[in-house]
């Protein structure tokens, strides 16, 4: 098992040797990636581990490992607050990594707002007064009642 320091300077792992090889193949780790083997306290460059062949060129712009959408480091409180205040825009979905659901939520919200807005303009004309006739209600006088 191994731990690595990503390009974002965050620690990832523990991961297996197979996972490390996959990250190397995907370009998520390179020869300069700092690695700590299980049981060790030393951080060494990946190139110092003979079991890993790094065929990708060294790049200072290598991306860190992609985090799963259920990353425990994401604050559920922050996601909840985003959902309350900006929920219609799907911001909390993007924050939690559910990009597809976020896009769907934006599309549905935009369609809903467009529909509501168009009903407000066509269905009720508040400014012209054409649709609203204000008449005084005539109350029967006491003479008519008798």
Residue 10 pLDDT class (50, 70, 90 cuts):
confident
Shortest CA distance to 6 belongs to which of 43, 33, 26, 40? Answer: 33
d(CA 18, CA 111): 46
- Determine the length of the chain: 146
pLDDT value for 58:
47
| Percentage of the chain lying above the pLDDT 90 cut | 0
pTM of the predicted model as reported, rounded to 2 decimal places: 0.37
Given a cut of 60, is residue 128 above it in pLDDT?
A: no
Q: Are strands 11-15 and 34-37 parallel, antiparallel or unpaired?
A: unpaired
Write down the residue that tokens 């825009």 correspond to. Answer: 89
Residue 88 pLDDT class (50, 70, 90 cuts):
confident
Average pLDDT in the 93-108 region?
84
Q: 30-61 pLDDT, tens per residue?
A: 888 888 988 888 888 888 888 876 554 444 44
* Cβ proximity of 34 and 43 under 8 Å: yes
pLDDT value for 4:
87
Other Cβ atoms closer than 10 A to 7 = 17
Give the mean pLDDT of the chain: 74
């Amino acid at each position: 098992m191994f731990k690595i320091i990503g390009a974002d300077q965050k620690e990832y792992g523990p991961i297996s040797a197979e996972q490390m090889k996959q990250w190397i193949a995907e370009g998520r780790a390179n020869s300069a990636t700092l690695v700590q083997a299980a049981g060790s306290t030393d951080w060494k460059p990946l190139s110092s581990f003979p079991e890993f062949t790094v065929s990708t060129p060294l790049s200072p712009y290598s991306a860190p490992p992609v985090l799963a959408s259920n990353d425990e480091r994401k604050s559920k409180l922050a996601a909840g607050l985003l959902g309350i205040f900006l929920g219609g825009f799907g911001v909390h979905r993007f924050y939690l990594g559910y990009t597809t659901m976020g896009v769907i939520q934006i599309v549905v919200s935009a369609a809903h707002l467009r529909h509501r807005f168009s009903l407000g303009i066509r269905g009720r004309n508040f400014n012209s007064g054409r649709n609203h006739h204000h008449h005084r209600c005539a109350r029967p006088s006491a003479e008519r009642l008798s």
